[in-house]
Structure 1
């Protein structure tokens, strides 16, 4: 879904969405996640970092592919990265902290739709690359949970096929 165009959320809407995203289960009140907002020229600067790493790893790549990598965060007016800060804790397992971050992604996605925008949650190759994580300001211990692309639909979208509930639900 990259038929996302302007307008994107304004500052008040963005703050509201981020506030909603923080209202997740958070055992121990650790806030084991944080957000990085990419808007305006910041999307292009981050894209330059992604393209540079891609070019190092793929010196034979066609220029069009490098351009595609450079424009990854320009596919929507607003991109928000959700970063996991899950860490060892005496009482709260790291996996539970990571799930709290995933819940923040989910609420952010729903908040964007509730504000009248379209949004999609992606993790692509650059989410896992340690060089890009460092360039975009993550510590060695932090990981991207996802990048949420938010904007206005340029055209109606068809929903993808979903599994039948009968295949997913067991009654005990």
Structure 2
């Protein structure tokens, strides 16, 4: 179980998420626009068909967008929307996942993380072999898993609210 849950910690460290970054990322514009990352990564990978090695420039731009996205938007005072609650719930989960009040979420989070990982694997295979059907299937499963997990994080945030 900890193997799945450690993915959240690794992502947070990789993206250097600070208190200020999380506050900015809770802006719904940041959360919603972040959903563009996987489709853009997929497009960048497929662009190697017509761009050759220059596709790596697109990849670099997408990776830069991934890093900058939670930093570009201002902190928002309104956090009573679904996306903000989901983003704040992710942070709450990372910081408190062993809290007994969240224990009932762990099996669902583990399942949804597994679903997302399976979709990501199919997506990666599709991108490596340039198979559009596998790519779109993997993308759909990954995005569904991510959005469903984000919805669960709204529950986490609600359960830990004072």
**TM-score calculated relative to the size of structure 2:** 0.29
Higher helix share: 2
Larger Rg: 1
Name the structure with the higher strand share: 1
